[in-house]
Structure 1
Amino acid sequence: MVEPLLKVVDLACARGGLTVLEGVSFEVASGSALVLRGPNGSGKTTLLRTLAELQPAVSGEIFAPEDTVAYAGHADGLKGTLSVGENLTFWGSLFGFGDIAPALDAFELRDLVARPAQSLSAGQKRRLGLARLLVTGRPVWLLDEPTVSLDVAAVGLFGRAVERHLAGGGIAVIATHIDLGIDADVLDLSGFRASAPQGGAFDEAFA
C-alpha cells in the first residue's frame, strides 16, 4: 500500500473569522493528483492556504512530511526588476536547487531568460511564476487556479509539467475548472460547507 504524501482528517477552515468548510477528509498518494471543484466562495483558496499553513485550521489534522509543500497562489511572486533567469536562480538558491534549465525548458522561457520580469506579459509572468515550482524540489504542489492568464499552448505546458511531477512521485492538489488532461480525482467542496456560521481565526483570505 502506497503511503499518502498528504492526508487531511476532519478539517475545518475559516475565512474572515467564519468557518466555511468542515469535515474535509482526503488522502493523496505519491504520483496522484486531486482537483478541487466548487463555485466561487466555496472555500477552495481557503483550503489551499490552510494546507500550506498560511493560515491556521479551525480544527482537524493535516499530515505531510516536513518541508515538502510548495504553494502557488494568485500572485506570481516575482521580483519585477530581476530578469527571468535571476528570479528562478533566486528561488532555486532559496530551496537549495541551482539548476534552472529544466524550469526554463518546461515553460519555454529560454528566449526570455534575460528579460526583466516587469516587462513580461501577464501570461509570461504566470509561466515564470509556475516555473518556480520546478526549482523548489518539493513533492507536494498546492495550486490555486494556476492556469489564469495562460493561453491554450501554455496550459498544455503546465499540464505536461504536472504529469512529469506526478511521474516522479510527487503530488498535486489543484483548484481549477479547466480540464488539464491529467488523470486526477475530483473533490467537490460544495459538500463540505459549514452547516452554520461559526467563529474561527481571522485570516483575511478569500476563496
Structure 2
Amino acid sequence: MSLISVKDMTVSRGGMPVLEGLNFAVSPGEILVLRGPNGAGKTTLLRTLARLQPPYAGTVEAAPDAVAYAAHADGLKATLTVSENLAFWAGVYGGQDIAPALRDFNLETLRDRPAGNLSAGQKRRLGLARLMVTGRPVWVLDEPTVSLDVASVELFAKAVKGHVDGGGAAVIATHIHLGFEETVFDVTPYKARHDVIRNDFDESFL
C-alpha cells in the first residue's frame, strides 16, 4: 500500500506544462529522490505533491493531511525561541512532543534562543525539525540541505532514515547523496513536449 501515488500526472508552471506522463508511488519505508537539471520542474512537482497547486492533468492520491512540506523558506517566527517555534508547529499539527526534534537536530542548547538570532544553518536545522512534530507520514522536501554543514547534513539524513524506518516515506529533490538506500526518479525524460497554455488553469495557493 502506497502512502502517496501519482497517476498520469502533468504539472505546470504559469499554466504551461512542465512535466507530463508522471506515474509513481511511494510506499512506507521508501525514499524517492528526484533528480534533474535546474529548471526541469522538480520544485513544481513537489509543490503539486504538497497540494499547494493542483495538477494540470492526472491525479495525486494520498490520505488527507498526509504530507509535510519543507522548501527554501524555513517558516520560522523570528521573535519566538527555538522551543517556542517548535511548540507552535506542534500545536498546529496536533501536539507532538518537541523533545525528539530538539535532540535529533542538535537544538537543545539553543532552545531558549530567539530564532531571529540563529545562524543560517541553525535556522535551517530548526526549519527541518518542524517535520518531526507534524506527525505526517510523507515528507516532501525541496533541497533540504541548503545552508547545512557536513555534520548537520548527517543529522538530517539520520532523521529521514528514522522517519522511514518508522513507517513513513520521503520525496526529496537534492543533488547530493545522503547515504541511505533510495529510489532515484529522474524527471528529465518527462519534460512536456508542448507549450499549450490553458487559460482556465488556476495555480493559486490552496
Equivalent-residue separation in structure 1 for 2:50 and 2:188 (angstroms): 21
Structure 1 residues 83-128: Cα deviation after superposition (integer angstroms, max 9, x where no partner)? 0000000000111124100000010000100000011000000000
- 2:22 paired residue number: 24
1:14 to 12, 15, 22: 12
Secondary structure of the residue that 1:154 maps to in structure 2?
helix
2:123 to 116, 125, 131: 125
Root-mean-square deviation over aligned CA pairs: 1.2
Secondary structure of the residue that 2:5 maps to in structure 1?
strand
Contact 1:18/1:197 (<8 A) preserved: yes
Equivalent-residue separation in structure 2 for 1:69 and 1:193 (angstroms): 25
- 2:139 paired residue number: 141
> Are residue 196 (structure 1) and residue 197 (structure 2) matched?
no
What does residue range 164-203 of structure 1 map to in structure 2 within 5 Å?
Answer: 164-200=162-198, 201=201, 203=203
Equivalent-residue separation in structure 1 for 2:52 and 2:185 (angstroms): 21
- 2:94 paired residue number: 96
Secondary structure of the residue that 1:71 maps to in structure 2?
strand
Give the Å deviation of 1:203: 3.4
Equivalent-residue separation in structure 1 for 2:117 and 2:204 (angstroms): 30
Contact 1:14/1:202 (<8 A) preserved: no
Normalized against structure 1, the TM-score is what?
0.95
Long gaps (5+) in structure 2: none
Equivalent-residue separation in structure 2 for 1:204 and 1:180 (angstroms): 33
Contact 2:96/2:135 (<8 A) preserved: no
Secondary structure of the residue that 2:163 maps to in structure 1?
helix
Equivalent-residue separation in structure 1 for 2:31 and 2:77 (angstroms): 30
- 2:79 paired residue number: 81
Secondary structure of the residue that 2:59 maps to in structure 1?
strand
Secondary structure of the residue that 1:4 maps to in structure 2?
coil
Contact 2:53/2:204 (<8 A) preserved: no
Contact 1:15/1:202 (<8 A) preserved: no
- 2:153 paired residue number: 155
Long gaps (5+) in structure 1: none
Normalized against structure 2, the TM-score is what?
0.96
- 1:40 paired residue number: 38
1:69 to 67, 70, 76: 67
Matched residue type, 1:127: R
Secondary structure of the residue that 2:3 maps to in structure 1?
strand
> Alignment length, in residue pairs?
203
Give the Å deviation of 1:204: 7.7
Equivalent-residue separation in structure 2 for 1:141 and 1:80 (angstroms): 24
